[in-house]
Structure 1
Amino acid sequence: MTQTRRHTADPTAHEMLVHARSIGVETAFDRYDKQQPQCGFGSLGLCCRFCWKGPCRVDPFGAGPQKGICGADRHTIAARQVARMMAAGAAGHSEHGRHVLHALDKVADGSLKTFQITDERKLLEVARRMGFTTEGRPVLEIAGDVVAASFEDFSNQHEGKAPNWLKVLLPAKRLERLQKLGVIAPNIDMGVAQLMSRTHIGCDADPLNIILGGIRAAIGDLNGMVLATELSDILFGTPAPVITEADLGVIKPTSVNIALNGHNPIVAEAVCRVAAEMKAQAQALGAVDGINLVGVCCTGNEVMLRHGVPLAANYLSQELVMLTGVMDAMVVDVQCIMPGITAVAENFHTVVVTTHDENKIPGAVHRSVHPENAVEVARGIVELAFDAYKRRNPKQQHLSDEKSTAIVGFSAESIVDVLTRIDAEDPLKPLLDAVTSGAIQGIVLFAGCNTTQVDQDMNYKTMGRELARRNVLVLATGCGAGAFAKDGLMTQEATEQYAGEGLKSVLRALGEAAGLKGPLPLVFHMGSCVDNSRAVTVASALANRLGVDLSDLPVVASAPEAMTEKAVAIGTWSVALGFPTHLGNIPQVTGSDQVVKIMTETAKDAFGGYFIVEPDPVKAAEKLYAAIQERRRGLGLPAGARS
């Protein structure tokens, strides 16, 4: 390891990194070191490559060029850079949703038999919220209505008409505010296309106007996310609490090990189905425990919550699962998949399988998966893992026993189900009572990624503990949820050890109501990064119940290790919904004081939400807690302790 950086706060990942370097295998952490020093212009958002007159850069110290060749200054360049990230993030999440939508469309019209509607209850609830009649109608006919409304969110061309899924998700007050500010596009694709158009050479140069265009795309990102989450629940089942495990110790030498990596659940669902059917074949090869599926990144979170599949790694650790020497196949779909995984796999027997025609990696085996052939192709993928199993080299095995128990599966519906056991007539009342009394001071959603800019998982682990001891209810998604799961914070023991007395009493009461022998876990795992809309669903229910806007609630968000374009889009819509939103690494816009002011001050005036940039995790927790106290004072609620 380098002398100045440990690179990861996960002890198991650290040990595996030491092993990787001892055998000469390069990982993302090594490639990060080789990139040092990184480009200072790019880090400040002052490098522009939007045309071939350049690349251009602006000197942050004033001695060199202050404008690009076309005349764009630091503010225009920085605004264009970050806005285009919002567009790409929205495209990623909405394309995920589009894949699931097309599958549900074929289920609804009877042409797809591979999958079926798993959660009819949720389908009916969604249909009713969209205004469709459900009584006495066939389920598939109702599904067709929901599908049509969802397709409209990709196609409506009429300004002023709010997309259907945003109307389902958001309180009327917030929806009206966003419409007045002109940041709701008629459809998801339009918001992305318009932003790409306005940031083309020779178009929009006003930084505030550019950022507003970015927010418009980011709201489309939220639209695509809620669509993807809700339709996935309808097709594959809505998560409910399940006990599983996390960290590299979930990989078993006595099994055929298959890692499921990426974001789209369609491929993983098919592999889960056929793996159960092919257990005997694995045992016939000598794998006494059959097939062991493990999760990586957000596909891992999807199957973790729906099937209890253990999570081996979050984003930055994805290469490390192969260093165990017993990972037989890694099956990938879309988003956050490192191209470097095939270079690591070449050192072992592991086969990497890509499954989406628009997402291929040199060195991988490609198997084209579509909803119609998903199960058939999944069988072939498992057979590839069998072939790889036969090539295992015992001398390359470097196993870990480290793993943590994780209680996961806290969808909005499962939270309400637990609350219903306390008050069936008014399920939200127990949670509201806890917030208004001060037993729960507020709610924080941890979202986002891992980045090599900070030691992996450290900010999550530190901030989660700091806020929980201040009686803040902790929700998590994506790689942040993976960090908490690996660290043992999704357990009853963590609640007893780290929660403040008020939060602990609430989690004990909810655990008892849920039939557990002890409290609910300290951190609620709500799903993959696309599932951040689950937290918005909870917040919207509270806002509607209290008759206030989202910006009035003691609810905050944090992306302490933000990295992707999707994370930029998520953080942007979080601010637009009215939530104070923390970033733990410095966003690449600081070369423009105007853009910084727009994100922190102008946004607060317009939307009620704003960005808090703080790399120190203890100070960040303090600032989020202060934001919660500001919201509590606004609602006339009693303040909590200062520390």
Structure 2
Amino acid sequence: MKSPKSIDPAVLELLPKASLDGVETVWDRYEAQQPQCGFGSLGVCCRHCVQGPCRIDPFSNGPSKGICGASVETIVARNLLRQVAGGAAAHVDHAYEAVEALELAAKDVLNYSLDEIKLQQISQGLGIDVSGKDKRELALEIVKAAYADLANHGNRPIQWLMAHAPKERIDVWQNLGIIPRNPDREIREAMHQTTMGMDADPVNLVLATAKQGLVDGYSGLKLATDIQDILLGTPTPVVTEANLGVLKKDFVNLIIHGHVPLLSEKIVYWAKKLQAEAVAAGAEGIQIAGICCAGNEVLMRSGIPLATNFLAQELAIVTGAVDAMVVDVQCIMPSLAQVASCYHTQIITTMPIVKIPGATHIPFTLENGDQAAQEIVRKAIRAYGRRDSKKIKIPDYKRKIMAGFSVEAIIGALKRIDPEQPLKPLVDNIVNGNILGVVGTVGCNNVKVTQDQMHVELVKELVKNNVLVVATGCSAHALAKAGLMNSEGTEDFAGDGLKAVLTALGQAAGLAAPLPPVLHMGSCVDNSRIGDLVTAIAAYLNVDSALLPVAASAPELQHEKALSIGTWAVTLGLTTHLGVVPPVLGSKMVTELLTKGLSDVIGGKFYVETDPLKAADGLLEDIRAKRKKLGLPS
């Protein structure tokens, strides 16, 4: 029996409409690609020079080496290193732009307020003297420290890593020789290392891949989140809704899609300012909704509802009610403009490195953010008058969600129970077994599997067994749509021990209801918040983070970024589940290095399992084994 395309009822309702409207979706294109290349799926195809492409026969009946003599182990390891470096490059580029914005804001060129508490926290972590300095002076010193990492021409380790990573982990990484220097240099070196005629040692290539995970973790994720919190504010809990039912028939619907909150927050601001213009155009107002991580960012800080996650971005347009979709970077399907051509929807690109034929381009720069945002909002208002009412179908599906759980917000809630040692209530409940462990679920949707199913079924099984789940990215969207990010989710899905803890925390926070069983911690770059929480618990207990009953999962990964994030989690010593098989199975040696060998030297490992219940069992087994080593009841 063929698996359904999604477990999201809004998606299943809109797919027949897409077909009737003559719209080709990602699921149609996936079917057209079958059968997909088996060599590529196994990672045994090499295109790194123009003598190729070379393909290794996985059944040993054909070529066993590339033209240059590269073995299957070398080819698979090189391909993986390039993918992880690509993911790290995406996040480092994102972080760099945030640093540029902070510099301009500190010089009063940009109109962003600065979070003084976060400024103090980051300054002290970097060893910057805060006495007698105003927030703009501190911001410029933080900018200087960030630029120093990006301009380091020696062997000094990345300062952001040395200031924020678990100390025991730093010792492990130093002994392995994988602590990165200048992040741009490391990415450049990985590209060089994987060209024809270079590194042929799969072990060395896998260690280089681990280094790229550290580049991503500290010069991408951590740096971006810290700087964005300074610029835009550190998130605190908010309540809103998720799924395509958040769109409103008689409102101008403007969707924010991508990953750059510097633009998204400007659009949110000007949408509020220009409500009267929308009313003058015949609408009741302007409704902003988010897709992917831009959606997570404005949700965390402004309470903007979530429309949907990666795989259903085209179906948001198929509702016929979206007047404009503004995109920035990453996870943008080039098909959006073609889908929009069947409706009145305006697709608006904003970045010089993301242009789509058929879309309108409105350039966004740090200096012109307000002007660009106004133009985008007004274009959505004008598009409202061109709607075809016969094409509108908004699925009546949405769930209440609670989000905004930064580490600061979590510790703030715990302080209500123990002001002196806020982590103590959390750690005590891990020790006594009310909370068996913690799992972070992250990452994407993948059209190869039923949309959201792996995320939701995996997490339901974990919380039933008293595992506290924290989530980011498209995983957070999936769990929000499934009702796992509200108090009712705790009543319906959490085990007794976890339910008791979340109920006590909710009461202490004045909610008169439990906290959700899954805590929404933000966007993809906000995975650093999960790392910060792990680091804080390890420091409180004075143990290596590799010993904690903590694990990670990318249930439906599809992007290179997910591989780089997962690699960083492994370097932290975490068992990291992948619910979609990565392209490495062509090499038994590389597969064993990633799933077994790494744990011997770095503490963490990858764990691949495509069945959600079996995956949950594997993570539970891992957590219980770690509890046993710590002498805790399991």
Superposition TM-score tier, normalisation by shorter sequence: over 0.9
Matched with 2:211 is 216
Matched with 2:112 is 115
Q: Secondary structure at the match of 2:313?
A: helix
* Alpha-carbon distance in 1 for matches of 2:309, 2:148: 34
Matched with 2:89 is 91
CA deviation after TM superposition for structure 1 residue 128, in Å: 1.1
2:144 to 142, 148, 152: 148
Matched, 1:375 2:370: yes
Matched with 2:46 is 48
Matched, 1:594 2:594: no
Matched with 1:558 is 553
CA deviation after TM superposition for structure 1 residue 175, in Å: 1.2
Q: Secondary structure at the match of 1:322?
A: helix
Matched with 2:277 is 281
Matched, 1:524 2:519: yes
Matched, 1:138 2:134: yes
Matched, 1:389 2:387: no
Deviation string for 1:90-126 (max 9, x for gaps)? 000010001110000111123x133231x21111111
Q: Secondary structure at the match of 1:66?
A: coil
CA deviation after TM superposition for structure 1 residue 464, in Å: 0.7
Contact 1:114 1:371 in 2 (8 A): no
Q: Secondary structure at the match of 1:530?
A: coil
CA deviation after TM superposition for structure 1 residue 400, in Å: 1.2
Determine what percentage of the aligned residue pairs are the same residue: 48
Matched with 1:498 is 493
Matched, 1:431 2:426: yes
Deviation string for 1:419-467 (max 9, x for gaps)? 0110001101000100001100100000111001110100111011100
Contact 1:423 1:430 in 2 (8 A): yes
CA deviation after TM superposition for structure 1 residue 250, in Å: 0.4
Contact 1:169 1:536 in 2 (8 A): no
Trace 1:313-392 onto structure 2 (pairs within 5 A): 313-392=308-387
Q: Secondary structure at the match of 1:473?
A: strand
Contact 2:23 2:339 in 1 (8 A): yes
1:38 to 31, 36, 39: 36
2:61 partner amino acid: A
Contact 1:76 1:206 in 2 (8 A): yes
* Alpha-carbon distance in 2 for matches of 1:603, 1:7: 35
Deviation string for 1:389-426 (max 9, x for gaps)? 11101111112111000001100000000001100011
Q: Secondary structure at the match of 1:92?
A: helix
CA deviation after TM superposition for structure 1 residue 158, in Å: 2.4
Unaligned runs of 5+ in 2: none
* Alpha-carbon distance in 1 for matches of 2:499, 2:286: 38
1:546 partner amino acid: L
2:394 to 389, 393, 399: 399
Contact 1:353 1:364 in 2 (8 A): yes
Q: Secondary structure at the match of 1:619?
A: helix
Trace 1:130-279 onto structure 2 (pairs within 5 A): 130-159=126-155, 161-223=156-218, 224-279=220-275
1:282 partner amino acid: A
Matched with 1:479 is 474
Which range moves more in the overlay, 126-135 or 80-89?
Answer: 126-135
Q: Secondary structure at the match of 1:259?
A: strand
Matched with 1:66 is 64
Contact 1:246 1:313 in 2 (8 A): yes
* Alpha-carbon distance in 1 for matches of 2:632, 2:229: 35
Matched with 1:470 is 465
Matched, 1:604 2:599: yes
2:145 partner amino acid: A
CA deviation after TM superposition for structure 1 residue 22, in Å: 2.3
Aligned CA RMSD, in angstroms, stands at: 0.9
* Alpha-carbon distance in 2 for matches of 1:632, 1:108: 46
Deviation string for 1:223-270 (max 9, x for gaps)? 111000011011001111100000000011111110000001111011
1:67 partner amino acid: K
2:498 partner amino acid: L
Deviation string for 1:471-495 (max 9, x for gaps)? 0000000000000011111010110
* Alpha-carbon distance in 2 for matches of 1:31, 1:257: 27
Trace 1:539-554 onto structure 2 (pairs within 5 A): 539-554=534-549
Contact 2:503 2:513 in 1 (8 A): yes
Deviation string for 1:578-600 (max 9, x for gaps)? 00000011111000001101101
CA deviation after TM superposition for structure 1 residue 162, in Å: 2.6
CA deviation after TM superposition for structure 1 residue 361, in Å: 1.0
Unaligned runs of 5+ in 1: none
